[in-house]
Amino acid sequence: MLYAGTASGVWSTPIPDCPSTVLWHQPIRPAGLFTMGCQDFTEPYDDYDIFIADDFSTTETWNIQTVFVPGNLWGSGTTLMNATILQFQIYADDQGTPDGDPSGGGNSPVWNLSVLPTDSQITISAEINGLPSNVTLSLDTSIKLQPGTYWFSFYPELEHITAGQYGKLTGNTKNGNPAQVINPGGGFAFPTVWTSVTDESTWNMEEQDFAFLLAGSIADWQADSDDDGILDGNEDKNHDGIIDTAAGETDPCDPNTDGDGIYDGTEIGLTAPQNPQATDQSQGYFVPDADPSTTTDPTDPDTDGDGISDGQEDANHNGLVDPGETDPSDNSSRPTIILLNKGFNLIAIPADVTNQPDLKDWLSVLGNSFEIEKVMAYDEANSRFVILIPEDGSNPSFTLQGGEGLIIYATGEKRVGFVSVDCSSLDLESGFNLIGIACPPNGYSAFQLLAELGSGNVSSIQRYSKEKGVFETAGFGPEGQLVGVDFPIVSGEGHFIYLK
């Protein structure tokens, strides 16, 4: 059967947001709907294969990302999910007809896709009569078409006895040439070459078009679709309509490709839009880089890989490392938060102490006299502890070299933040050492540190476990084997290390 009666209804498709825009739209005829057969029959009914193609044209380069085809089922058909395959094709034009056909005649299509109805790119939805026979194709790889006239064809392969028959819905437009139909095997006594659907040898239709929609983007590479200051052609560098962040491409329709809060133009160091006429700065998506000598990766939310997003480190998102911020392009510049518990704490100052070497000047950072009872540092030269009390004018001076550990007695829980980290090297003396490791590698542990120092140099390392309220020790056994607790080495924690 080639004709499946009439129906009524109106099909409307919302125009997608950027990057998709409607490129070609032939809506369904709003009343007195007609369905015309279009199907690849299975053996032994191949002579009944019948295909429809409809033309469309463009004067610009298109990147097609979405295809929508409304359809209908009849007979035993209940859902297009029962199709063996879904076939999409685009042919070049040959003087008003497709220059090839699905049976293999003529030239091959300029684009061809065969997918299962369960493919992740496919969505099957209900048509106006309630049967799931509308198809939306959301392409993983867009179709790039140069200006010209083309012919679009879609059809399912269906076992008609159990899965029914499928047809395309007529449109309400008169675009270009009349749609063409071909019945290569002649089983329906239709022409075996492409012939107009308005011809008496076919359906002798009054309508000449069938409903379908193409959506995607127009390749205007001099535009700035997201107003981030970067031209679309510089964001999609190879102009294929696919955003390949691994190749350094950014999304021309998302001003913040990696979602870190810093706009793409700022991240690549722009102080002005690449084309001020193309960028609508009133949208607020272009922020001039306040320090163009440094940049971050607009495709990576954590450029320096320190576990802190670029937008957290550059808190005001202006591209400059302002006071109180850390550098998103330097993994040694990262905030460290130390949690002090009530009572005994073993910590280290992870920050650069070069410009503020006296421990007295750090007491206000650690807390006031109501929060901190006392701070103890180890004086290696005199082999004794030095005690300092916040807000006490008689505190002795103690010069920090960087990397020292501290004992702090707190009156309650408190968070202490350091906005930068100084990755100083260990300076160990024979015997007892109270130190901190500001920049341990991810996953670094006590056993790894001991192995690097060697059993001939060090005997053990200790930390105070805040969670357990006990000291944990790792060291070397009598045979030189690693023994004890392989605890993690964390920035901001202090450690006792005993050298031989």
Listing DSSP states for 67-95 in one string gives EEE-EEEETT---GGG-SEEEEEEEEBSS
C-alpha 38, offset from chain centre: 38
CB 122 within 8 A of CB 137: yes
Element (H, E) at 58: strand 51-58
- Mention every residue, 6+ apart, whose C-beta is less than 8 A from residue 402: 352, 353, 354, 422, 424
Rounded Cα gap, residues 156 and 153, in angstroms: 10
Nearest CA among 484, 492, 429, 438 for reference residue 462: 484
Cis peptide before 19 (omega within 30 of 0): yes
- DSSP H helical ranges for 342-390: 363-366
Nearest CA among 42, 37, 46 for reference residue 72: 37
CB 175 within 8 A of CB 150: no
pLDDT at 310: 92
pLDDT at 130: 85
Instruction: Give the tokens for residue 454.
Output: 């060697």
Rounded Cα gap, residues 137 and 115, in angstroms: 10
Rounded Cα gap, residues 496 and 458, in angstroms: 11
pLDDT at 16: 30
pLDDT at 82: 96
pLDDT at 313: 84
Cis peptide before 14 (omega within 30 of 0): no
- Residue 449 phi/psi, 5-degree rounding, is -65, -45
Three-class secondary structure of residue 80 per DSSP: helix
pLDDT at 61: 83
- Residue 201 phi/psi, 5-degree rounding, is -80, -5
Backbone Cα Rg of the chain: 35
pLDDT in tens, the chain (500 residues): 233 332 222 222 222 345 467 899 999 987 656 889 999 999 999 999 999 999 999 998 888 989 999 999 999 999 999 999 999 999 999 999 999 999 999 999 999 999 999 999 999 999 877 899 999 999 988 898 989 999 999 999 999 899 999 999 999 899 999 999 999 999 999 999 999 999 999 999 999 999 999 998 877 778 898 999 999 889 988 877 778 899 999 988 889 999 999 999 999 999 999 999 999 999 999 999 999 999 999 999 999 887 788 998 888 999 998 765 778 998 767 677 788 999 999 998 888 888 889 999 999 989 999 999 999 999 988 999 999 999 999 999 999 988 899 999 999 999 887 766 677 778 888 999 999 888 788 789 999 999 999 999 999 999 999 889 999 999 999 999 999 999 999 888 999 999 98
pTM reported for the whole predicted model: 0.53
pLDDT at 8: 26
C-alpha 365, offset from chain centre: 39
* Paired strand residues for 168: 36, 71
Instruction: Give the tokens for residue 457.
Output: 């140099």
- Residue 245 phi/psi, 5-degree rounding, is -65, -25
Burial of 41 (0-12, 13-18, 19+ CB in 10 A): buried
pLDDT at 10: 27
Rounded Cα gap, residues 274 and 297, in angstroms: 18
Q: What burial letters (b/e) apply to 95-114, b meaning 16+ CB within 10 Å?
A: eebbbbbbeeebeebbeebe
Q: In what order do the strands lie in the sheet with 33-37?
A: 3-7, 33-37, 165-169, 71-74
Write down the domain spans for the chain: 3-217, 233-328, 336-499
